[in-house]
Chain A
Amino acid sequence: MGPLSSPSSAAAESKIKAKQPWRCSPSRPAPSPHPSSSVRTAARTACASPPSPSPPPPSPRSRRRCPATTPPPRGTQTRTRPPLFLRPATHPVPASALAAFRRRAAALVPASAPHLHRHLRWLLADASTTSDSDPALFRAPLDHIESLWLGHVRARRPFQYVVGNEHWRDLVVAVKEGVLIPRPETEAVVDMVKGVEGFGGGWWADLGTGSGAIAVAVARELGDGGKVFATDVSDVAVEIARFNVERYGVQDKVEIRQGSWFEPLQDVKGKLMGVISNPPYIPTEDLPGLQPEVGWHEPKLALDGGRDGLEHLLHLCEGLSSALKSGGFFVFERDLTSNICASIWQTNGNKQSEFLVDLISSKWSSSFRDVKAVLDFADIKRFVTGYHR
Chain B
Amino acid sequence: MPEACWTAKPRGPAGPELKPTLRFATSAAAAMMQHHLRRCGGSALAALRRLRHFPAATPASSPAAWRRPSLPSRPYSTAENSAELPANLVAIMEQRMKLIEQKSAYLQDQVNQPSASPEEYARANKEFHKLESTMGLIKELRSKQKEIEGLKSLVTNNREDKDMREMAAEELLEAIDEEKRLQHELFTSLLPKDEADERDCILEVRAGTGGEEASLFAMDIFKMYEKYAQKNGWKFDVIDIMESAVKGYKEASGTISGAGAFGKLKFESGIHRVQRVPVTEKSGRVHTSAVSVAVLPQADEVDVQLRNEDLRIDTYRSGGSGGQSVNTTDSAVRITHIPTGTVVAIQDERSQHMERVPKPQLQILYCIVYGVTMNKAKALKVLRARLYELERHRLHMDRSKLRSEQIGSGDRSERIRTYNFPQGRVTDHRVGITHHSIADVMEGESLDIFIDALLLQEEMDAIASFGA
Given contacts A169-B373, A294-B326, contact A378 B317 (CB under 8 A): yes
Known: A130-B355, A159-B329, A184-B331. A167 touches B363 (CB 8 A): no
* Interface size classification for chain A: 35 or more
Q: Which residues of A contact B350 (CB under 8 A)?
A: 121-122, 125, 167
Question: A119 vs B317: C-alpha distance in the bound complex, in angstroms?
Answer: 18
Q: Is B27 part of the contact surface with A, judged by Cβ < 8 Å?
A: no
For chain B, give the interface size range.
35 or more
Q: Is A219 located at the chain interface by the 8 A CB criterion?
A: no
Determine which of B329, B352, B371, B376 lies in contact with A125 in the assembled complex, contact meaning CB atoms within 8 Å. Answer: B352
Which residues of chain A in 120-166 are interfacial with respect to chain B, using CB atoms and an 8 Å cutoff? 121-122, 125-126, 128-130, 158-160, 165
Q: Counting CB contacts under 8 A, is A108 at the interface?
A: no
A378 vs B362: C-alpha distance in the bound complex, in angstroms? 35
**Are B323's CB and A377's CB within 8 A?**
no
Tell which of A56-64, A255-263, A331-339 binds the partner: A331-339
Interface SS of B by simple majority = loop
Confirm or deny: A241 has a beta carbon within 8 angstroms of a beta carbon on chain B. no
A354 to chain B, nearest CB (A): 15
Measured CB to CB, the nearest residue on chain B to A247 is: B362
Mark interface residues in A176-187 (1 if CB within 8 Å of B CB, else 0).
000011011101
- Looking at the assembled complex, report how far the CB atom of A270 sits from the nearest CB atom of chain B, in whole angstroms: 30
Q: Chain A residues near B329 (CB, 8 Å)?
A: 115, 118-119, 122, 159-160
Q: Does B370 contact A (CB under 8 A)?
A: yes
Does B374 have its Cβ within 8 Å of any Cβ on chain A? Answer: yes
Interface of chain A: mostly helix, strand, loop or mixed: mixed
Asked whether any CB of chain B lies closer than 8 Å to the CB of A285, the reply is no
A183-B324, A294-B326, A380-B322 known; A167-B367 Cβ under 8 A:
yes
Q: Known: A291-B326, A378-B315, A378-B317. Is A170-B372 also a contact (CB below 8 A)?
A: no
In the complex, what residues of B have CB within 8 A of residue A294's CB?
324-327
Q: What residues of A have a CB within 8 angstroms of the CB of B367 in the complex?
A: 167, 172
A294 to B323, CA, bound (A): 11
User: CA separation between A170 and B372, bound complex, in Å?
Assistant: 9
Determine whether the beta carbon of A337 is less than 8 Å from that of B355: no
Verify A183–B352 contact, CB threshold 8 A. Answer: no
Which residue of A has the minimal Cβ distance to B374?
Answer: A170
Q: Which of B324-360 contact A (CB under 8 A)?
A: 324-331, 348-353, 355, 359
State whether B323 touches A382 (Cβ < 8 A).
Answer: yes
Min distance, Cβ B467 to any Cβ of chain A, angstroms: 52
Report the bound CA distance from A159 to B350 in whole Å. Answer: 14
Pairwise interchain contact B370-A281, C-beta atoms closer than 8 A: no
- Alpha-carbon gap, A125 to B373, bound state (A): 23
Say yes or no for B364: interface residue by CB 8 A criterion.
yes
A303 near B324 with CB under 8 A, answer yes
From B353, B362, B373, give the contact of A191 (CB < 8 A): B373
Q: Would you call A68 an interface residue if the criterion is a C-beta within 8 Å of the partner chain's C-beta atoms?
A: no
Q: Are B322 and A378 in contact (CB under 8 A)?
A: yes
> Are the CB atoms of B325 and A377 closer together than 8 Å?
no
The reply to whether the CB of B464 lies closer than 8 angstroms to some CB of chain A is: no
Task: Tell me, yes or no, whether A226 is within 8 Å of chain B by CB.
Answer: no
In Å, the complex CA distance between A291 and B321 comes to 12
By the criterion CB–CB under 8 Å, are B373 and A181 in contact?
no
- Cβ of B370 and Cβ of A333 under 8 Å apart? no
Kindly supply a per-residue 1/0 record for chain A positions 317-344, scoring 1 wherever the CB is within 8 Å of any chain B CB and 0 otherwise. 0000000000000000111111000000
Q: Map CB proximity to B onto A279-322 as digits: 1 under 8 Å, 0 otherwise.
A: 01110001000110110001000110000000000000000000
> In the complex the two chains form, is B365's CB within 8 Å of A126's CB?
yes
B376: chain A residues at CB < 8 Å are: 377
Given contacts A122-B350, A191-B373, A377-B313, contact A167 B364 (CB under 8 A): no
**For residues 236 through 287 of chain B, which have their beta carbon under 8 Å from a beta carbon of chain A?**
243
Contact residues in B for A333 (Cβ distance below 8 Å): 323
Cβ of B141 < 8 Å from any Cβ of A?
A: no
A188 to B317, CA, bound (A): 16
Residues in A with CB closer than 8 Å to B331 are 167, 184
Complex alpha-carbon distance, A316 and B410, angstroms: 58
User: B380 in the interface, Cβ–Cβ < 8 Å?
Assistant: no
A171 to B363, CA, bound (A): 13
Residue of A nearest to B320 (CB): A337
In the bound complex, do residue B328 and residue A184 qualify as a contact, i.e. CB atoms below 8 Å apart? Answer: yes
User: Is A235 in the interface zone, CB < 8 Å from B?
Assistant: no
For residue B369, CB closer than 8 A to chain A, the reply is yes
A188 to B374, CA, bound (A): 11
- Chain A residue with Cβ nearest B328: A184
Fill in one digit per residue for B106-135: 1 if any A CB lies within 8 Å of its CB, else 0: 000000000000000000000000000000
Q: With A85-B365, A167-B369, A378-B315 given, is the CB distance from A185 to B323 under 8 Å?
A: yes
A86 beta carbon closer than 8 Å to chain B:
yes
**Which chain B residues have a beta carbon within 8 Å of chain A's beta carbons?**
243, 313, 315-317, 321-331, 348-353, 355, 359, 362-367, 369-374, 376
Q: Which A residues lie at the B interface, using CB under 8 A?
A: 85-86, 115, 118-119, 121-122, 125-126, 128-130, 158-160, 165, 167-172, 180-181, 183-185, 187-188, 190-191, 247, 249, 278, 280-282, 286, 290-291, 293-294, 298, 302-303, 333-338, 376-378, 380, 382
Q: List 24 A-B contacts (CB under 8 A).
A: A121-B243, A125-B352, A167-B331, A168-B370, A169-B370, A169-B374, A172-B366, A183-B322, A183-B323, A183-B324, A247-B362, A247-B364, A280-B324, A282-B324, A293-B327, A294-B326, A302-B324, A303-B324, A335-B321, A337-B321, A377-B376, A378-B322, A380-B323, A382-B322
* Given A167-B371, A249-B359, A335-B321, 6 further pairs, Cβ under 8 A: A121-B243, A168-B370, A170-B373, A172-B364, A184-B316, A294-B325
